[in-house]
Protein backbone atom coordinates (compact mmCIF):
# COMPACT_ATOMS: atom_id res chain seq x y z
CA UNK A 1 0.00 0.00 0.00
CA UNK A 2 1.25 3.49 -0.88
CA UNK A 3 2.13 5.76 2.03
CA UNK A 4 0.59 9.25 2.16
CA UNK A 5 2.69 12.10 0.80
CA UNK A 6 4.42 13.99 3.66
CA UNK A 7 2.43 17.17 3.08
CA UNK A 8 2.91 18.54 6.58
CA UNK A 9 6.66 17.97 6.29
CA UNK A 10 6.81 19.73 2.92
CA UNK A 11 4.68 22.63 4.22
CA UNK A 12 6.86 23.04 7.31
CA UNK A 13 10.07 22.99 5.29
CA UNK A 14 8.62 25.47 2.78
CA UNK A 15 7.54 27.77 5.60
CA UNK A 16 11.00 27.73 7.23
CA UNK A 17 12.71 28.39 3.90
CA UNK A 18 10.28 31.22 3.05
CA UNK A 19 10.91 32.86 6.39
CA UNK A 20 14.71 32.57 5.98
CA UNK A 21 14.48 34.01 2.46
CA UNK A 22 12.30 36.94 3.57
CA UNK A 23 14.86 37.86 6.23
CA UNK A 24 17.75 37.61 3.75
CA UNK A 25 15.95 39.84 1.27
CA UNK A 26 14.97 42.57 3.72
CA UNK A 27 18.40 44.19 3.55
CA UNK A 28 18.27 44.23 -0.26
CA UNK A 29 14.74 45.66 -0.45
CA UNK A 30 13.60 42.75 -2.64
CA UNK A 31 10.54 40.53 -2.56
CA UNK A 32 10.91 36.71 -2.79
CA UNK A 33 9.25 36.68 -6.24
CA UNK A 34 11.84 39.17 -7.51
CA UNK A 35 14.68 36.91 -6.39
CA UNK A 36 12.95 33.88 -7.96
CA UNK A 37 12.89 35.69 -11.30
CA UNK A 38 16.56 36.63 -10.97
CA UNK A 39 17.48 33.06 -10.07
CA UNK A 40 15.54 31.69 -13.04
CA UNK A 41 17.12 34.14 -15.48
CA UNK A 42 20.59 33.28 -14.20
CA UNK A 43 20.18 29.56 -15.03
CA UNK A 44 17.99 29.52 -18.16
CA UNK A 45 19.13 29.36 -21.79
CA UNK A 46 18.59 31.88 -24.60
CA UNK A 47 15.33 30.18 -25.70
CA UNK A 48 13.89 30.78 -22.24
CA UNK A 49 15.06 34.22 -21.05
CA UNK A 50 11.92 36.08 -22.18
CA UNK A 51 8.93 37.41 -20.21
CA UNK A 52 6.94 34.39 -21.45
CA UNK A 53 9.64 32.03 -20.18
CA UNK A 54 9.50 33.68 -16.75
CA UNK A 55 5.68 33.50 -16.76
CA UNK A 56 5.71 29.78 -17.57
CA UNK A 57 8.43 28.94 -15.05
CA UNK A 58 6.80 30.74 -12.13
CA UNK A 59 3.24 29.91 -13.19
CA UNK A 60 2.32 33.57 -12.58
CA UNK A 61 0.15 35.98 -14.58
CA UNK A 62 1.73 38.07 -17.33
CA UNK A 63 0.77 41.27 -15.45
CA UNK A 64 2.48 40.23 -12.24
CA UNK A 65 5.63 39.11 -14.10
CA UNK A 66 5.70 42.35 -16.05
CA UNK A 67 5.62 44.39 -12.79
CA UNK A 68 8.41 42.27 -11.31
CA UNK A 69 10.57 42.70 -14.41
CA UNK A 70 10.08 46.48 -14.32
CA UNK A 71 11.31 46.61 -10.70
CA UNK A 72 14.35 44.44 -11.45
CA UNK A 73 15.24 46.57 -14.47
CA UNK A 74 14.87 49.77 -12.46
CA UNK A 75 17.18 48.37 -9.77
CA UNK A 76 19.79 47.58 -12.46
CA UNK A 77 19.61 43.83 -11.78
CA UNK A 78 18.44 42.84 -15.30
CA UNK A 79 18.56 44.44 -18.73
CA UNK A 80 16.61 43.90 -21.95
CA UNK A 81 18.58 42.95 -25.06
CA UNK A 82 16.90 42.74 -28.48
CA UNK A 83 17.20 39.39 -30.26
CA UNK A 84 19.82 39.50 -33.02
CA UNK A 85 17.43 37.88 -35.57
CA UNK A 86 14.02 39.16 -34.45
CA UNK A 87 14.03 42.66 -32.98
CA UNK A 88 10.49 42.16 -31.60
CA UNK A 89 11.88 39.60 -29.12
CA UNK A 90 13.62 40.90 -25.99
CA UNK A 91 15.98 38.72 -23.97
CA UNK A 92 16.27 39.44 -20.26
CA UNK A 93 19.87 39.33 -19.11
CA UNK A 94 21.02 39.40 -15.50
CA UNK A 95 23.53 42.23 -15.01
CA UNK A 96 26.76 41.77 -13.07
CA UNK A 97 25.09 43.35 -10.02
CA UNK A 98 22.22 40.86 -10.41
CA UNK A 99 24.60 37.91 -10.71
CA UNK A 100 26.45 38.99 -7.58
CA UNK A 101 23.19 39.25 -5.67
CA UNK A 102 21.98 35.83 -6.82
CA UNK A 103 25.38 34.31 -6.03
CA UNK A 104 25.32 35.70 -2.51
CA UNK A 105 21.79 34.41 -1.82
CA UNK A 106 21.85 31.11 -3.71
CA UNK A 107 22.53 28.70 -0.89
CA UNK A 108 20.17 28.49 2.06
CA UNK A 109 22.28 28.48 5.27
CA UNK A 110 19.41 26.58 6.90
CA UNK A 111 19.58 23.73 4.39
CA UNK A 112 23.35 23.82 3.95
CA UNK A 113 23.97 23.28 7.66
CA UNK A 114 21.34 20.53 7.86
CA UNK A 115 22.79 18.82 4.79
CA UNK A 116 26.16 18.49 6.52
CA UNK A 117 24.50 16.14 9.02
CA UNK A 118 23.18 13.76 6.34
CA UNK A 119 25.27 10.90 4.96
CA UNK A 120 25.74 10.33 1.21
CA UNK A 121 22.93 7.75 0.96
CA UNK A 122 20.41 9.94 2.78
CA UNK A 123 21.35 12.89 0.59
CA UNK A 124 21.02 10.86 -2.64
CA UNK A 125 17.65 9.43 -1.52
CA UNK A 126 16.26 12.89 -0.75
CA UNK A 127 17.44 14.25 -4.12
CA UNK A 128 15.94 11.35 -5.99
CA UNK A 129 12.61 11.44 -4.12
CA UNK A 130 12.18 15.20 -4.54
CA UNK A 131 13.09 15.03 -8.24
CA UNK A 132 10.60 12.21 -8.78
CA UNK A 133 7.87 14.16 -6.98
CA UNK A 134 8.57 17.30 -9.05
CA UNK A 135 8.56 15.32 -12.33
CA UNK A 136 5.28 13.61 -11.37
CA UNK A 137 3.60 16.96 -10.58
CA UNK A 138 4.88 18.45 -13.86
CA UNK A 139 3.77 15.44 -15.85
CA UNK A 140 0.29 15.04 -14.33
CA UNK A 141 -0.51 18.76 -14.58
CA UNK A 142 1.34 19.24 -17.87
CA UNK A 143 3.61 21.93 -16.49
CA UNK A 144 6.72 22.48 -18.56
CA UNK A 145 9.66 20.45 -17.23
CA UNK A 146 12.36 23.17 -17.60
CA UNK A 147 15.18 20.64 -17.65
CA UNK A 148 18.69 20.60 -19.09
CA UNK A 149 19.59 19.35 -22.57
CA UNK A 150 21.09 16.03 -21.44
CA UNK A 151 17.61 14.81 -20.43
CA UNK A 152 15.74 16.18 -23.48
CA UNK A 153 14.58 14.18 -26.51
CA UNK A 154 15.79 16.98 -28.82
CA UNK A 155 19.39 16.84 -27.67
CA UNK A 156 22.02 15.30 -29.96
CA UNK A 157 25.66 14.86 -29.05
CA UNK A 158 27.87 15.43 -32.09
CA UNK A 159 31.51 14.51 -32.56
CA UNK A 160 32.56 18.11 -32.01
CA UNK A 161 29.72 19.61 -29.99
CA UNK A 162 25.98 19.52 -29.34
CA UNK A 163 22.85 20.15 -31.40
CA UNK A 164 19.18 20.92 -30.71
CA UNK A 165 16.89 19.00 -33.09
CA UNK A 166 13.96 21.27 -32.20
CA UNK A 167 15.55 24.62 -33.03
CA UNK A 168 18.03 23.14 -35.53
CA UNK A 169 20.82 25.11 -33.91
CA UNK A 170 24.18 24.12 -32.46
CA UNK A 171 24.57 24.31 -28.69
CA UNK A 172 27.65 25.15 -26.68
CA UNK A 173 28.84 23.30 -23.59
CA UNK A 174 27.51 26.21 -21.53
CA UNK A 175 24.08 26.07 -23.29
CA UNK A 176 23.52 22.43 -22.40
CA UNK A 177 24.00 23.11 -18.70
CA UNK A 178 21.21 25.70 -18.61
CA UNK A 179 17.49 24.99 -18.20
CA UNK A 180 15.12 25.33 -21.16
CA UNK A 181 11.39 26.04 -21.55
CA UNK A 182 11.31 23.84 -24.68
CA UNK A 183 12.72 20.85 -22.76
CA UNK A 184 10.91 17.58 -23.41
CA UNK A 185 11.88 14.90 -20.89
CA UNK A 186 13.23 11.64 -22.27
CA UNK A 187 11.27 9.43 -19.86
CA UNK A 188 7.83 10.70 -20.95
CA UNK A 189 8.35 9.51 -24.51
CA UNK A 190 9.78 6.10 -23.61
Write the CB contacts of 105 (distance below 8 Å, at least 6 apart in sequence).
Answer: 21, 24, 25, 28, 35
Q: Which is nearer to ligand SF4, 43 or 166 (CB)?
A: 166
Q: Which of 60, 99, 138, 154 binds ligand SF4 (CB under 6 A)?
A: 154
* 44 near ligand SF4 (CB under 6 A): no
Distance CA 94, CA 34 (A): 12
Using the minimum distance from each CB to ligand SF4, give the nearer residue, 21 or 183.
183
Shortest separation between residue 189's beta carbon and ligand SF4, angstroms:
12
Q: Which stretch binds ligand SF4 (CB under 6 A): 16-24, 77-85, 116-124, 151-159?
A: 151-159
Cα-Cα-Cα-Cα dihedral of 49, 65, 132, 135, to 10°?
-70
> How far is it, in rounded angstroms, from Cα 48 to Cα 182?
8
Binding residues for ligand SF4, rule: CB under 6 A, are: 45, 47, 149, 152, 154-155, 164, 166-167, 171, 180, 182-183
Amino acid sequence: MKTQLPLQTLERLASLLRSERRNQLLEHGLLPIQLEVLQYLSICNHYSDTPMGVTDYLNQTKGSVSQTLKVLEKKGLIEKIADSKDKRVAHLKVTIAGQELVGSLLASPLLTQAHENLDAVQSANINSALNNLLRAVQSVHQFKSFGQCYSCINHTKLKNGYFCELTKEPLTKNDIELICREHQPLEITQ
